[in-house]
Amino acid sequence: MCEIRPVEVNQRDLVDKVLARYPEEFTVFRELLQNADDAGAENFTIVFQASHRYASNGTKPDLSSVKVCKWLVRNDGAPFQDPDWGRLTKIAEGNPDERKIGAFGVGFFSVFSVTDKPIVKSNGKMVSIYYEGDKLYVKKEEIIRDSNNCTVIEMELKQTSTIPRIFELTRFLVTSMTFLARIQCITISLDDTELSRLTKTRNKGQSIVIPEHMVRRSPGDTMTVASVKLICWYLSRLSKSTQL
């Protein structure tokens, strides 16, 4: 008698092994930033939500004493379509467009390093991913569409914590932002209080004279250099908290 049974997979352990590839402190933000850039977003917002409302008496909050219970990330890229929702819940299936940064599909699962139940809201739908025991489950719901048509990822933290050092986080995001094609502005906030903002601008470009002795055609004339232009990107940082 032949017995055939499915192979049991401990999904929690599988996710943990995937996350072992991402040892950096700010990995979650880098991965979600890259995903947003893939979606054509220009604006990316990180919001740290406090467990209790801190005193707002005109003074800037003491970030070292604020306890955070949730991270919220928002971008204005293309809203999720059916194929995107499908890939979201499939570990390592990835983006079929290999030209994009987030091509391997494991980036989103970096959120499980800080939360056990991420929620994604986009295009009038909400998907909650959560553990029951060692298995992951997905719950899909219809919601009111965001007025700005943004994609929002909510991460209720496994345990309350303080805000990451904003200066180090901002410096990390500067490096990440340098290599992105579309993101132009990153904002970091504590609830409604803006803490830091990064903007990326590009100059109009300066034409460079091609020396006469330079070979402009490739072998077989498959490529020709018609002109060369120098384009520079400028990054600026605005910090509104004295305790970065």
- Whether the pLDDT of residue 157 is over 60: the answer is yes
Q: Is the pTM of this model over 0.85?
A: no
φ and ψ of 169, to 5 deg = -65, -45
Q: How much is the average pLDDT of 208-216?
A: 84
The confidence band for 201, taking pLDDT boundaries of 50, 70 and 90, is confident
How many CB atoms sit inside 10 A of residue 200's CB? Answer: 18
pLDDT reported for residue 237: 59
At 109-118, the pLDDT tens digits run 888 889 999 9
Comparison of pLDDT for 220 and 76, the residue scoring more? 76
φ and ψ of 241, to 5 deg = -115, 140
The confidence band for 121, taking pLDDT boundaries of 50, 70 and 90, is very high
- Per the prediction, the chain carries an average pLDDT of 81
In this prediction, what percent of the chain has a pLDDT beyond 70? 77
In this prediction, what percent of the chain has a pLDDT beyond 90? 33
At 75-110, the pLDDT tens digits run 999 999 888 888 887 754 444 454 443 433 557 888
Enumerate the domain spans of the chain: 11-199
Distance, in Å, from the CA atom of 67 to the CA atom of 105, rounded to the nearest integer, reads: 31
Within the chain, residue ranges assigned H as helices are: 11-19, 27-38, 82-88, 166-178
11-199 fold: Heat Shock Protein 90 (3.30.565)
Tokens of 115: 């939360």
Comparison of pLDDT for 95 and 147, the residue scoring more? 147
At 17-26, the pLDDT tens digits run 767 766 667 8
